[in-house]
Amino acid sequence: MLGSNLGKNIRRLREGRQMSQEQLARALNLTFQAGSKWEMGATVPDTLTLPAIAALFDVTIDELFRPAGGRL
């Protein structure tokens, strides 16, 4: 499932930068609950938010969706 990979990758990237969910939310001008729901796979980011997430972590949108073991 793409959403599952996306949430796992957002979490991995966030933790790799030693960011809290609160810091991620502030950087994207969202609630921390939104990021938490993405990471748990309950929801996925809006398509308009994906470029901001990719830019924040300096990856492509494609990389956000790659399965585990893919380049990140």
Q: Which fold has domain 2-63?
A: 434 Repressor (Amino-terminal Domain) (1.10.260)
pLDDT single digits (tens) 23-60: 999 999 999 899 999 999 899 999 999 999 999 999 99
Residue 2, pLDDT above cutoff 80: no
The DSSP code sequence of 7-60 is: HHHHHHHHHHTT--HHHHHHHHTS-HHHHHHHHHTS----TTTHHHHHHHHT--
